[in-house]
Structure 1
Amino acid sequence: MWQWLTNVFRLGLKELNSLRADPVLILLIVYVFSFAVYSVATGAKLEVSNASVAYVDQDRSALTGRILGAILPPEFNPPQEISAGEIESVMNSGKFVFVLSFPPSFEADVLSGHKPQIQLNVDATAMAQAGNGSVFLQQIILAEVAKFVSGDDITTTRLIDLVVRTKFNPNLNSIWFSSVMQIINNITILSVLLTGAALIREREHGTIEHLLVMPVTPSEIMVAKIWANGLVIVVAAILSLWIVVQTVLAVPIAGSIPLFVCGAVLYLASVTGLGILLATFTTSMPQFGLLSLPVLVIMNLLSGSTTPMESMPVWLQNVMQLSPSTHFVSFSQAILYRDAGLDIVWPDMVVMVALSAVFFFIALKRFRVTMATVR
């Protein structure tokens, strides 16, 4: 056992030296955990921001002016007036996301107790902005009409006083969500790519034959690649959380970083094994990249990091329980967002351990077959 651990340690040092000698991979790691996290967090926003609004005002009353005056930045750009005949053309051209149309005698109908209709045309190409923006505009219109009818700009009489308390992200800032999720997704991507690339690099450089004549076993070679590349990814993820997320983006991390690191180590044992498994079916980096692409897309998009698991079909939710990324995302969100402790996240950790063992032994069996073929 001591000789096995010694061989694993020394082979891991060889992997770290190989990685240090590859400037392309080093640049990729730095980019993925720095600029990629920052650019996605600040650029891919889910909330409404600077949405373009047009309006057709056939009433030109104080009430319509009041409603239009309440549509303000930063959610919306100042509304621009168009004619009724321009609605279809501006919507088709994508010039405006929202177009409001006020009918004639709108204010008079409101004051007389009738229920006039306001037409809201929405460009739903951008679904998140369209859905959230429509809700915001409806709230603005209802609030301004209620104030106008009651004559009270400060308070309005409501039958129910609904108090909303937003936990974990009080300002509903998408940067808090997307920055952390980007790091979690990047851990998956690099875990597969680095370990797979390490095996492909052995073949392309001809060093796989050197390993075959050394007194080492396939398990020692595989475990060495896993711990060396996993160490690099864990260190990069911790630095990204500290420098990019907490310092640059000023996103608070609610939970325990050491507990998150423990879960990440368990997760890395499975996805790094998956990377080696995929690499055994290929002979070059282009082949490995093409084979890894659909696997990574499915693991990231259907893991719950982009859309909630509850929004997926039940059969797909059950299938994705076999993916370690699903449990890692649930584990990470519970700790980093909601300050969950070990008493809450231990089921996900147990599943990750089980899946890691399955992926490891499958990859090891396939790796032994590959080594025997090369021999």
Structure 2
Amino acid sequence: MRAANILHLGIKELRSLLRDPVMLVLIVFAFTFSVYSSATTMPETLNRAPIAIVDEDRSPLSARIVDAFQPPFFLPPDLIDFGQMDARMDAGRDTFALVIPAGFQRDILSGQPAVVQLNVDATRITQAFSGGGYVQAIVTAEVQEFANRHRGDANLPVDLVLRARFNPELDNARFGSVMEIISNVTMLSIILAGAALIRERERGTIEHLLSMPVTPLEIMIAKVWSMGTVVLLASAASLSVVVQGLLGVPVEGSVLLFLSGAALHMFATTSLGIMLATFARSMPQFGLLLVLVLLPLQMLSGGVTPRESMPLAVQTLMLAAPDTHFVMLAQAILYRGAGIGIVWPQFLALAAIGAILFAIALARFRRTIGAMV
């Protein structure tokens, strides 16, 4: 194995990437607009939800309840008749429809059981999931204040003091932006490495390489270091410019330590991308394989939901995936400021998984080349 061959082959891969505008646009989009939108377009609380109210009571209490639904949680409510409710929800105009029955205030003042009906459009899952609790809290607060004849906080027997660690403002941008970078590192390293091999096969340049004094090991290492370097530099720029600069999200730990872990992770994922490319005969086939691989990696690695909430069998199985360990070390470093003394097990696991995937990909690559000779 000659270092000069690996260097020149890697430079060839970089030049080939520069002549591929689609891949360049994908890289720029993934580490700029995609990161920014993930941090800003998913509100962590209910925001401007449309609500309609059927007020059949027409009492001071029902008027108070209507006036309580205001921005930013809800849009100003539309007062409608009972006959309009189903048609408006069928048309998608309202997420919530609250029905206040006749005699509601009378029942409250007389101590009789009183019921209001809340209809929810559950297809709007983000608003529907949390909105019911907001509506119940607003109605309950207004009824209690009306019944007690004054506004005031209830004297609770226990005072809960909330101290939020690592994200004191409970800002969703801190989670969304960093996790998007972590997800895109995995996605692009697999895509770029696999696409580099597919391009060689589709353009017929793989035959030219076979006629040169280079080995399959040199060819594969060149693809790994070149594509890995592109993703590593793009992620570092995104973390510095978009996350820390544009979004103002602080990074608690060492960026250099995170990039070291990302480099180990990309050693594994670029090898995985090359291995997938040896099974695919064209870019469309490679794309279908990516769907089967990327979605489980991203959904089950702990980046979307905590691993502890998953079945034990899934947790154990996903320990064989590099994404699981990368998410663990990235969150520990960037969120909690962890050092190498804490994340060294994840570094070791990534190195072991990367070595196994590299060996499998190299064996598959040699077999593919042997079939072409």
> Normalization by structure 1: what TM-score?
0.91
Q: How many Å separate the matches in 2 of 1:219 and 1:327?
A: 26
Counterpart mapping for 1:228-267 below 5 A: 228-267=226-265
Find the counterpart in structure 1 of residue 311 from structure 2: 313
Find the counterpart in structure 2 of residue 141 from structure 1: 139
Counterpart mapping for 1:200-349 below 5 A: 200-349=198-347
Deviations 1:206-247 (A, max 9, x none): 222232232222112111111111010011011112222222
The one-letter code sitting in structure 1 at the alignment partner of 2:252 is A
Kindly indicate whether the alpha-carbon contact (under 8 Å) linking 1:8 and 1:221 is maintained by their aligned counterparts in 2.
yes
Please, which moves more after superposition, 299-308 or 238-247? 299-308
Deviations 1:100-143 (A, max 9, x none): 12233323333344442222211111222112111122222233
The one-letter code sitting in structure 1 at the alignment partner of 2:224 is I
Q: How many Å separate the matches in 2 of 1:365 and 1:84?
A: 69
Q: How many Å separate the matches in 2 of 1:16 and 1:327?
A: 28
Q: How many Å separate the matches in 2 of 1:324 and 1:99?
A: 46
CA 1:115 to 1:263, structure 2 compared with 1: closer, same or farther past 3 Å? farther
Kindly indicate whether the alpha-carbon contact (under 8 Å) linking 1:146 and 1:156 is maintained by their aligned counterparts in 2.
no
Kindly indicate whether the alpha-carbon contact (under 8 Å) linking 1:254 and 1:339 is maintained by their aligned counterparts in 2.
yes
- 2:279 aligned counterpart, secondary structure: coil
Does 2:29 align with 1:16?
A: no
Q: How many Å separate the matches in 1 of 2:239 and 2:362?
A: 32
- 1:12 aligned counterpart, secondary structure: helix
CA 1:245 to 1:15, structure 2 compared with 1: closer, same or farther past 3 Å? same
- 1:280 aligned counterpart, secondary structure: helix
- 1:54 aligned counterpart, secondary structure: strand
Instruction: Give the drift of 1:159.
Output: 3.2
Q: How many Å separate the matches in 1 of 2:268 and 2:197?
A: 16
Instruction: Give the drift of 1:44.
Output: 4.0
CA 1:306 to 1:319, structure 2 compared with 1: closer, same or farther past 3 Å? same
The one-letter code sitting in structure 2 at the alignment partner of 1:248 is L
- 2:337 aligned counterpart, secondary structure: coil
Q: How many Å separate the matches in 1 of 2:58 and 2:253?
A: 54
Q: How many Å separate the matches in 2 of 1:68 and 1:333?
A: 43
Which sections of structure 2, spanning at least 5 residues, go unmatched?
Answer: none
Q: How many Å separate the matches in 1 of 2:96 and 2:199?
A: 53
Q: How many Å separate the matches in 2 of 1:189 and 1:263?
A: 16
CA 1:115 to 1:353, structure 2 compared with 1: closer, same or farther past 3 Å? farther
Does 2:38 align with 1:32?
A: no
Match of 2:165 among 164, 167, 178: 167
Kindly indicate whether the alpha-carbon contact (under 8 Å) linking 1:47 and 1:173 is maintained by their aligned counterparts in 2.
no
Q: How many Å separate the matches in 2 of 1:256 and 1:135?
A: 40
Counterpart mapping for 1:51-130 below 5 A: 51-130=49-128
Q: How many Å separate the matches in 2 of 1:258 and 1:179?
A: 18
Q: How many Å separate the matches in 2 of 1:295 and 1:251?
A: 30
Find the counterpart in structure 2 of residue 185 from structure 1: 183
The one-letter code sitting in structure 2 at the alignment partner of 1:263 is G
The one-letter code sitting in structure 2 at the alignment partner of 1:87 is M
- 1:120 aligned counterpart, secondary structure: strand
Please, which moves more after superposition, 197-206 or 157-166? 157-166
Deviations 1:261-287 (A, max 9, x none): 111111101110000001111222222
The one-letter code sitting in structure 1 at the alignment partner of 2:214 is V
CA 1:169 to 1:87, structure 2 compared with 1: closer, same or farther past 3 Å? farther
Q: How many Å separate the matches in 2 of 1:316 and 1:104?
A: 52
> Normalization by structure 2: what TM-score?
0.92
Match of 1:132 among 130, 133, 138: 130
Q: How many Å separate the matches in 1 of 2:257 and 2:57?
A: 61
Count matched residues. Answer: 373
The one-letter code sitting in structure 2 at the alignment partner of 1:178 is G
Instruction: Give the drift of 1:28.
Output: 1.9
The one-letter code sitting in structure 2 at the alignment partner of 1:290 is L
CA RMSD of aligned residues (A): 2.1
